Structure 1
């Protein structure tokens, strides 16, 4: 349970997705590569380095869908491939 207004939470997680690295220390950056309709998008995320580089640099290309029904938010995503973001040298995908 989060003590947070659902409108604010949804806006932060979906509407301001590209600013996630500002408040989540595990995320270096997020970029929306493509919007597919109103509720679906393809994103590229880069994970922040871990102390001592125990886990090497990682990135992810994901297709994400966000739906709202009343005060309930459904957020789903899975790994995908996208021509705008081929695998990067020096980063584990």
Structure 2
């Protein structure tokens, strides 16, 4: 559900203003563009990210992985600091 509604992330995550899916790669992988929410003091200024994300499920365990990438459909935008995330992985499973 989290991955299926990726573009609605800004509605519930105050750190994210907007998410747009730029490209789907197969059933489990996509490239997204995210614009960060405002931060207290706004020291860094508006930031944006281009990320490749993958979601897999094995039984009741869900794996979410991603990292920054580049995409020809989303060059750096004036007025935004292009930020980068290193490789990340989140594993969610019921207790």
For normalisation by structure 1, the TM-score amounts to 0.85
User: TM-score scaled to structure 2, two decimals?
Assistant: 0.83
Counterpart in 2 of 1:63?
Answer: 52
User: In proportion to residue count, which structure has more strand?
Assistant: 2
Q: Which runs of 5+ in 1 are unaligned?
A: 1-10
Root-mean-square deviation over aligned CA pairs:
0.7
Identify the structure with the greater helix proportion. Answer: 1
Matched, 1:77 2:66: yes
The aligned length equals: 82
Alignment partner of 1:74: what SS? Answer: strand
Q: Which of 74, 77, 81 pairs up with 1:88? A: 77
Q: Deviations over 1:57-76 (max 9, x none)?
A: 10000001000000100000
Match of 1:54 among 43, 49, 62: 43
- 1: CA distance between counterparts of 2:49 and 2:42? 18
Q: Which aligned segments of 4 or more residues in structure 1 are displaced greater than 6 angstroms?
A: none
Distance 1:23 1:47 in 2: 13
Could you tell me how far apart the structure 1 residues matched to 2:7 and 2:24 are? 13
